[in-house]
């Protein structure tokens, strides 16, 4: 049996990355997976060759308008659309279709959080797609709808999760994430021009205003059962891909660098896409480019009384498209790692 896969928003960064991963998926090469409709309203009618020459196997394909009827006869649909558009499309697709939404429409469980940060009606919530969070794999495996996480929440959640779940810190976290410009999507904006970003760093949506703040807090509350305070600051950096995240929080009594490292290593011992680095090594974005990996380090700042955690991910792979394909694999009962690289390009 061959499963057909459609990608809505195929010409965006997330959509293009999904296609790159699907083209290297063993099911694509065996004929079990077929890439169907590629849609994108602003580029409809154009050839893939003109828009994404990095995908030569799809060069002759034509981008179609994004419409439910175009997507409805596929077994799997990836939605790489701007926030606020996914719900309208998804609600018109058959219940048996596996839909993976890379936008925020179904991530938040709290309606008040959604209205505060996004300003329109709350569409509801779907099973959340970070499989490494305890209990999520089972929900993903039994669902035909998955909310793919945001890139910032992926790096921050994976970094903080063992510390919060294990009581290694007080649940009062300061999180700073430095991101490449592709995280803003493939839209024309003066603030993202090369002349505006090269040689410069800029914090934005500070002091709790970034939309990913409640998503991070929601993820961490799920493993502690209590309230979690999150101060999140994103910083734009002049690089195409990657997110480097630092998490600091008051460290618990008796916690040492050695015991924290052991706790993190044990927590992620069975996770093939999370690597707790050896003592003395620090995560670097260059070591995760194009991979579905999250590299993590943890240590105690004794003078400050803080636990310091650092993580690095590729925002387009583990932060978006890789997570989507990982969740697709789980929901279809395939090898979870199928088509997902763990080795980065170097240098």
Domain that holds residue 129: 3-148+320-332
Give the pairing type, strands 274-276 and 202-203: unpaired
Would you say how long the chain is, in residues? 347
Please say whether the beta carbons of 177 and 244 come within 8 A: yes
> Do residues 99 and 216 both lie within one domain?
no
Q: What is the pLDDT of residue 121?
A: 86
Q: Residue 82 — pLDDT band, cuts 50, 70, 90?
A: confident
Kindly report the pTM of this predicted structure.
0.94
**Residue 196 above 80 pLDDT?**
no
List the catalytic residues.
Answer: 151
Q: What is the pLDDT of residue 205?
A: 87
Q: Residue 299 — pLDDT band, cuts 50, 70, 90?
A: very high
Would the CA dihedral through 212, 168, 248, 154 be positive or negative? negative
> Do residues 305 and 156 both lie within one domain?
yes
What does the mean pLDDT of the chain come to?
94
On the 0-12 / 13-18 / 19+ scale of CB atoms within 10 A, 254 is: exposed
Closest by CA to 77, choosing from 60, 52, 54, 102, is 102
Q: Residue 181 — pLDDT band, cuts 50, 70, 90?
A: confident
> Do residues 127 and 176 both lie within one domain?
no
Q: What is the pLDDT of residues 235-283, one digit of tens each?
A: 999 998 999 999 999 999 999 999 999 999 999 999 999 999 999 999 9
Q: What is the pLDDT of residues 3-29, one digit of tens each?
A: 999 999 999 999 999 999 999 999 999
> Do residues 328 and 289 both lie within one domain?
no
Q: Residue 96 — pLDDT band, cuts 50, 70, 90?
A: very high
The answer to whether position 297 is within a domain reads yes
* DSSP state at residue 116: H
The answer to whether position 280 is within a domain reads yes
Please say whether the beta carbons of 152 and 212 come within 8 A: yes
> Do residues 115 and 249 both lie within one domain?
no
Q: What is the pLDDT of residues 315-336, one digit of tens each?
A: 999 999 999 999 999 999 999 9
**Residue 185 above 80 pLDDT?**
no
The enclosing domain of 113 has a CATH number of 3.40.50.720
The answer to whether position 64 is within a domain reads yes
The answer to whether position 346 is within a domain reads no
**Residue 208 above 90 pLDDT?**
no
Number of structural domains the chain divides into = 2
């Amino acid at each position: 049996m061959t499963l057909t896969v459609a990608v809505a928003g195929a010409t965006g960064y997330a959509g293009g990355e999904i296609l790159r991963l699907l083209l290297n998926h063993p099911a694509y090469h065996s004929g079990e997976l077929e890439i169907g409709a590629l849609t994108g309203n602003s580029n409809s009618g154009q050839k893939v060759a003109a828009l994404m020459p990095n995908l030569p196997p799809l060069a002759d394909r034509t981008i179609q308008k994004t419409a439910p009827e175009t997507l409805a006869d596929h077994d799997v649909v990836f939605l790489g659309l701007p926030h606020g558009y996914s719900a309208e499309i998804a609600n018109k697709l058959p219940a048996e279709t596996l839909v993976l939404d890379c936008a925020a429409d179904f991530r938040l469980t709290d309606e008040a959080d959604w209205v505060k940060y996004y300003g329109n009606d709350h569409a509801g919530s779907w099973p959340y797609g970070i499989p490494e969070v305890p209990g999520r794999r089972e929900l993903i495996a039994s669902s035909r709808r998955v909310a793919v996480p945001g890139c910032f929440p992926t790096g921050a959640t994976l970094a903080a999760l063992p510390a919060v779940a294990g009581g290694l810190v007080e649940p009062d976290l300061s999180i700073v994430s430095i991101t490449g410009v592709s995280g803003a999507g493939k839209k024309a904006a003066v603030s993202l021009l090369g002349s505006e970003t090269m040689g410069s760093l800029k914090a934005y949506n500070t002091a709790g205003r970034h939309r990913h703040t409640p998503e991070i807090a929601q993820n961490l509350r799920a493993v502690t059962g209590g309230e979690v305070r999150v101060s999140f600051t994103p910083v734009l950096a002049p690089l195409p891909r990657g997110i480097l995240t630092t998490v600091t929080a008051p460290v618990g009594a008796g916690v040492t660098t050695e015991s924290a490292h052991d706790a993190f290593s044990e927590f992620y011992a069975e996770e093939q896409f999370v690597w707790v680095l050896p003592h003395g090594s620090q995560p670097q974005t260059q070591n995760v480019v194009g991979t579905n990996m999250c590299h993590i380090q943890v240590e105690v700042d004794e003078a400050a009384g803080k636990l310091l955690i650092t993580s690095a991910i590729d925002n387009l792979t583990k932060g978006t498209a890789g997570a989507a394909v990982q969740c697709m694999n789980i929901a279809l009962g395939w090898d979870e790692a199928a088509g997902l690289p763990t080795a980065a390009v170097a240098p």
